[in-house]
A = this chain, B = another copy of it.
Amino acid sequence: MNTITIIGMGLIGSSLARRIREAGLAEKVIAADHDIDVCKKVVELGFADEVTDNLAQSVEDADMVVLAVPVGVMGKVAQKIAPHLKDGAILTDTGSVKASVIEAIKPFCRSGIHFVPGHPIAGTEFSGPESGFSTLFEGRWCILTPLPDVSVRAVEAVTHLWEGCGSKVEIMDVKYHDLVLGITSHLPHLIAYTIVGTANDLEDDIKSEVIKYSASGFRDFTRIAASDPTMWRDVFLSNKDAVLEILQRFNEDLTAMQRAIRKGDGEYLYRRFGETREIRKAIIDSGQA
């Protein structure tokens, strides 16, 4: 790969840029962000060969362009850069939702542009270019959801990029991706945001106690609920159907728990609490813990 342009210098984009540099995965890394202050920070941090806030110009020489912007602006950015992409350029993204992102980007991909939707399953609760680090993707999954008409060579090139970042790459159906991630990622984030929000609405005196004794369970939710608000707003708006479906199931299960507590049904609670240990064990056994 000669030149890779990464658009969006948040946690994901800046981590990818660092890794490409360190591992020599491309000869030249161009970092682009519409925010001039972010660009200045990237120049300071010094992990890109070129830094610009001119998105259109940033892609002109790129063999591969990675869109690492919030899901809600993928289409707008694609529209802006598409006319400036070289023939044969590979376009990929890092969005947490795939169906809506494909719908937003695809119309701008003229023939000769190879679009390979992707999703690295990696992140922290921190945002911005200063929060990135080159080992973020090490040992993590990266899911690609290529459309049937894309060239094998383009899929291989994107696979190669993520493998170079230390990731294990999987190919998945678009809709199935959105359902699986709805369960493993989107619902947990929604629940965490909600429970921390509920605590945040408490009176000030009890809130200080909640902070003091947060180690008893609550704390784990606050880490998740400190994730980037823009990114997550877009995720929920973009994966509405899958999230609402799984949320419906969760609500039914929570109502059953609530009823068991109210009725003093210890047998039900014990049985449900025992079942969940299996999944933990499977996660530990699979090396994901």
Residues of A participating in the B interface, judged by any CB pair closer than 8 Å: 72, 121-123, 125, 140-141, 143, 176, 179-181, 183-202, 206-207, 209-227, 229-230, 232-234, 236-237, 240, 243-244, 246-247, 249-251, 253-254, 257-258, 261-262, 264, 266, 269-270, 272-283, 286, 288-289
B247→A258 contact, CB < 8 A: yes
A236→B269 contact, CB < 8 A: yes
Q: Which 8 A-B residue pairings sit nearest by Cβ, starting from the closest?
A: A188-B217, A229-B273, A185-B216, A226-B280, A225-B276, A196-B276, A184-B218, A222-B280
Q: Chain B contacts of A185 at CB under 8 A? A: 213, 216-218
Q: Chain B contacts of A188 at CB under 8 A? A: 195, 216-218, 220-221
Interface class of chain A by DSSP: helix
Copies per complex? 2
- Least Cβ distance of A116 to chain B in Å? 19
The interface centre, meaning the residue of A253, A274, A276 with most chain B CB atoms within 10 A of its CB, is A276
Q: Tell whether A276 pairs with B226 under 8 Å between CB atoms, given A195-B191, A282-B211.
A: yes
Q: Which of B183, B225, B230 contacts A199 (CB 8 A)?
A: B183
B224→A217 contact, CB < 8 A: yes
Can you pick out 26 interface pairs between chain A and chain B where the beta carbons lie within 8 Å of each other?
A72-B266, A121-B216, A179-B206, A180-B209, A183-B210, A184-B213, A184-B216, A186-B217, A187-B195, A187-B217, A188-B220, A193-B273, A199-B279, A212-B288, A219-B283, A220-B221, A220-B223, A222-B276, A222-B283, A229-B269, A229-B270, A229-B277, A236-B261, A244-B258, A244-B261, A251-B254
Q: Tell whether A200 pairs with B276 under 8 Å between CB atoms, given A269-B233, A286-B211.
A: yes
Considering only CB atoms, which chain B residue lies closest to A226 in the complex? Answer: B280
Q: Chain B contacts of A261 at CB under 8 A? A: 190, 236-237, 240, 243-244, 247
- Least Cβ distance of A155 to chain B in Å? 20
A202→B221 contact, CB < 8 A: no
- Least Cβ distance of A135 to chain B in Å? 14
Considering only CB atoms, which chain B residue lies closest to A140 in the complex? Answer: B215
In Å, the complex CA distance between A186 and B258 comes to 12
In Å, the complex CA distance between A257 and B186 comes to 13
Q: Tell whether A262 pairs with B288 under 8 Å between CB atoms, given A251-B254, A279-B196.
A: no
Considering only CB atoms, which chain B residue lies closest to A239 in the complex? Answer: B261
In Å, the complex CA distance between A236 and B197 comes to 22
In Å, the complex CA distance between A191 and B176 comes to 25
Q: Tell whether A215 pairs with B121 under 8 Å between CB atoms, given A230-B270, A262-B240.
A: yes
